[in-house]
Amino acid sequence: MDCRNEGCSQPQDEDIMDIPLDDPAANKAAAKIQAGFRGHMTRKKMKDDKPREEKQREPK
């Protein structure tokens, strides 16, 4: 999110500090976001690796 064009009243760094780190709901939400991102990266890596494996099998 870019606040320069939207006219935010606070710098972005201060918004991050407003989140209570000991809040169980915030921790659960963060874990869910991280898991989704890790899954995305794993699927992306597997998709990139798949054509190499198929190319290796074709000459047989």
Whole-model pTM: value is: 0.51
The Cα 52–Cα 11 span in angstroms is 45
Element (H, E) at 27: helix 24-57
Q: Which residue has the tokens 């190319």?
A: 55
Average pLDDT of the chain, as a whole number: 77
pLDDT at 29: 93
Q: Cβ of 30: how many Cβ atoms within 10 Å?
A: 13
pLDDT bucket at 44, cuts 50 / 70 / 90 = very high
46: tokens are 């597997």
Residue 10 has pLDDT above 70, yes or no: no
pLDDT at position 19 over 90? no
